[in-house]
A and B are shown apart, each in its own frame.
Chain A
Amino acid sequence: MYPCQLIDLGLIDYAQAYQFQKDCVQKVLNGEPQKLIFCEHPAVLTLGRMSKDSNFLWPKEEIQKENIKILPIDRGGEVTLHAPGQLVVYPIFNLNHYGKDLKAFLHRLEEVIINVLKDRGIEGRRIDGKTGVWVERDKIASLGVGVKKWISFHGLSLNVSNDLELYRMIRPCGMDIRMTSIMKKCNGHGAPLDIRTIMWHSFKAEFNLQEIE
C-alpha cells in the first residue's frame, strides 16, 4: 500500500489551491507521501491546453461581469467550470507506482468516480473515445491532469450539488453536451460531505492507498 495524506481545503479560491497543488508536487518529488486534495472553488472557468475560443457561448466580457474569472492553466483538456457544490479532487500521486501510463491513470480516475456514483445508486459510464463519466446521456464528471516528472496534479471534478445553469456560458470540454449532478439524479439528496467520504474510500481501493496524518 502507498501512504497518502488526505487534505480538505474546503471552499478555496482557484489560484490559492493551484499554488497549494504546486507546493505539494514539490513535496512529493522530495519524497513526501502522496497527497489527495479535496476542495470546492467559487465559480471560475479554467482553460486547459486544448481550449478554443469557439467553446465560449457567451462573450468573455459578459462572463467576467458575472464575477467569474477565466484562467488558462497547465492541464490537458478544454474549458471547464468549477463552482460551489462541485467536488474538485487533485491527486498528487507518483505515477511511477501506477505504471507511468497517462491513459491508464485517467481510466483509474474514471473508475473512482463510477464507484462513488454506484454507492449512490447511480450508474456512471464511460463513452468510447471520450474522457469523463456520464450518466445516461449527460456528463457528471470531468477530468484533466498535469504531470511533471511523473507526479500528477490537477485531476477531476464531480458535480454534486452545484448550479448547472452556469454551464450555459460554455461548451463544456468543447462538446455540445448537457451536464448533470448527483443532486439532480438523486432528487435532491447527495450531500457533498458524504460524497467526500465515499470518494476517499473509492480512491483508497483503486490506488491502493493507506491514510496517514
Chain B
Amino acid sequence: MSQELKLPELGDGIQKAVVAVWHYQVGDRIKAGDDVVEVVTDKAAFSVSAEQSGKLEQILVAQGQEAAIGQTLAVIA
C-alpha cells in the first residue's frame, strides 16, 4: 500500500514551508522512521520522516519550492 508523505502541522500560524533538502532520490529504498526530506520555516529546519518502509516512487515538491501544510510531498510505495 502506498504512503503519501505529507507536510505535517508545524504549529500555530505556520501555513507553509520550503523544501530545503531531499535526502533520497526517486527509486531509493526507505525504512520506516527515516528522515526523507527537510523543510524550513524561517528559523526552523524540520525533518519529515517516513511512517512505513518502501520505495520512493515520486517527489512532488522540488527542492526550493514551497508546500502548504497537509500537502503531499512525495509518494512511498
Contact A50 B40 (CB under 8 A): yes
Q: Which residue of A lies closest to B10 (CB)?
A: A102
Interface class of chain B by DSSP: strand
User: Interface size class for chain B?
Assistant: 20 to 34
Interface string of A100-144 (1 = CB under 8 A from B): 111111100000000000000000000000010000000000011
Question: Which residues of A139-158 have CB atoms within 8 Å of chain B's CB atoms?
Answer: 143-149
CB distance from B21 to the nearest CB of A (A): 8
Contact A148 B13 (CB under 8 A): no
Q: How far is the CA of A146 from the CA of B14 in the complex (A)?
A: 16
Q: Which residue of B lies closest to A99 (CB)?
A: B11
Question: Which residues of B42-77 have CB atoms within 8 Å of chain A's CB atoms?
Answer: 42-47, 49
Q: How far is the CA of A75 from the CA of B20 in the complex (A)?
A: 10
Q: How far is the CA of A147 from the CA of B42 in the complex (A)?
A: 13
Q: Which residue of B lies closest to A152 (CB)?
A: B44
> Residue B4 at the A interface, CB < 8 A?
no
> Hey, which chain A residues are within 8 Å of B9, CB to CB?
100
> Hey, which chain B residues are within 8 Å of A48, CB to CB?
40, 43, 45
Query: Shortest 7 CB-CB distances between A and B: which pairs?
Result: A101-B11, A76-B43, A76-B44, A102-B44, A49-B20, A131-B43, A148-B47
12 contacts between A and B (CB under 8 A): A48-B45, A49-B21, A49-B40, A75-B43, A76-B40, A76-B44, A100-B10, A101-B10, A106-B44, A143-B43, A148-B35, A148-B47
Q: Which A residues are within 8 Å of any B CB, using their own CB?
A: 48-50, 74-77, 99-106, 131, 143-149
